Amino acid sequence: MSVENKKLPQSYYVPAQSPWPIVGAIALFFIAVGSGLTIMQLNNSNVSGVFLLVIGLAILFVMLFSWFKDVITESNNGLYSTQMDVSFKQAMLWFIFSEVMFFLVFFGALFYTRNLSVPWLGGASNNVMTQQILWPDFQSFWPLLKTPAGDTTQAMGWQGLPLINTLILITSSVTLHIAENAMKVNNRRKLQTFIGLTVVLGGCFLTLQVQEYIHAYTELGLTLQSGVYGNTFYLLTGFHGLHVTLGLILLVIVYARILRGHFNDQQHFALQAGSWYWHFVDVVWLCLFFLVYVF
């Protein structure tokens, strides 16, 4: 029995009471109401929504900072067993799975509009009469440059900025992988360099993405309002950009912690989680690059 017991998890750290969850709930409340009101007030000068949104984000920032601080302190004090590390890792993987499903919605919408609804509007399947009567001038092709309503736009090419961005993101995944391997052999100097490099590459990606949006809006006339081509383009790349931003924040936190001497070759969950997340947004980008830009 005693021999058996050594293999069992002897104690499990159940954290003491914490104020941060409910503070987080309050933050989300302000963010939800603030975002809702902001959007409802888009066409008037009322700024109460923006005000609430900013308050919400500020509370969320304080909450995340304090919550992370508590967790990091506990981790550094050695309160976490291997079992808890596994819990964290599993939770992160399931979270990434939920994100996959989120992106799947927009890829699904891209598939549906491109392969079903736009051809149907152009008279495919049994819709010949519908097209003849409703939109006789409409021609179905992808990218949808002229909508049934008559709005026109230009397509975004894949050469140029998107290709450069693809190379940047792939490189950043490689540098992050090198950093992770450096962690495993406790080569902190290399770790620090390559995490730093990844953060810089991520920053470059976002900057170029903004450039691309400006180019699309000012020169191509490709806007959020220009039919389903523009809709799927902006929602997919936009949510991807948001996720890159989130991944970048995680990596910056990891970088700051490395500077403070956190992590060792055995325990570096935050680094691993950040890295998984980064590889995930990279894979999403590759799908995006081929399905939205190239084909």
Partner 1 sequence: MDDSMYQQNDSAEHHQPSGIKRWLYTTNHKDIGTLYLGFSLLMLFVGGAMAMVIRAELFQPGLQLVEPNFFNQMTTVHGLIMVFGAVMPAFVGLANWMIPLMIGAPDMALPRMNNWSFWILPFAFAILIGSLFMEGGGPNFGWTFYAPLSTTYSNDNTALFVFSVHIMGISSIMGAINVIVTIFNLRAPGMTLMKMPMFVWTWLITAFLLIAVMPVLAGTVTMVLTDKYFGTSFFDAMGGGDPVMFQHIFWFFGHPEVYIMILPAFGIISTIIPTFSRKQLFGYHSMVYATVSIAFLSFIVWAHHMFTTGMPLAAELFFMYSTMLISVPTGVKIFNWVATMWRGSLSFEVPMLFAIAFIVLFTIGGFSGLMLAITPADFQYHDTYFVVAHFHYVLVTGALFSIIAAVYFWLPKWTGHMFNIRLAKTHFWLSLISVNVLFFPMHFVGLAGMPRRIADYALQFADFNMIISLGGFAFGLSQLLFVWCVVQCFRGGEKVPAKVWDGAEGLEWQVPSPAPYHTFATPPEVK
Partnered with residue 12 across adjacent β-strands are none
Cβ-based neighbours of 171, under 8 Å, separated by 6 or more: 201
Q: Which of 48, 207, 218, 225 binds partner 1 (CB under 8 A)?
A: 225
Q: Which of 2, 15, 78, 129 binds partner 1 (CB under 8 A)?
A: 15
State the nearest-atom distance from the C-beta of 57 to partner 1, in Å: 14
Q: Which of 83, 181, 186, 266 binds partner 1 (CB under 8 A)?
A: 83
The DSSP string of 146-214 is B-TT--B--PPPSTTHHHHHHHHHHHHHHHHHHHHHHHHTT-HHHHHHHHHHHHHHHHHHHHHHHHHHH
Comparing CB distances to partner 1, the nearer of 108 and 160 is 108
Told to check if 201 binds partner 1 by CB under 8 A, we report no
Sheet strands (E) in the chain: none
Q: How many residues does the chain have?
A: 295
Comparing CB distances to partner 1, the nearer of 12 and 217 is 12
From 164-172, 175-183, 227-235, 285-293, give the range in contact with partner 1 by CB under 8 A. Answer: 227-235
State the nearest-atom distance from the C-beta of 37 to partner 1, in Å: 8
- C-alpha–C-alpha distance, residues 143 and 146, integer Å: 9
Spell out, one character per residue from 129 to 168, where the chain touches partner 1: x when CB under 8 A holds, - when not: -----x---------x--xxx-x-----------------
Site for partner 1 in 87-126 (CB under 8 A): 87-88, 90-91, 94-95, 97-99, 101-102, 104-106, 108-109, 112-113, 116-118, 120-121, 125
* Two structure tokens written together for 143: 């990218």
- Residue found under tokens 């020169």: 219
- C-alpha–C-alpha distance, residues 190 and 160, integer Å: 32
Spell out, one character per residue from 44 to 73, where the chain touches partner 1: x when CB under 8 A holds, - when not: -----------------------x------
Comparing CB distances to partner 1, the nearer of 33 and 249 is 33
- C-alpha–C-alpha distance, residues 13 and 135, integer Å: 65
Q: What are phi and psi of 139, to 5 degrees?
A: -120, 135
Site for partner 1 in 254-293 (CB under 8 A): none
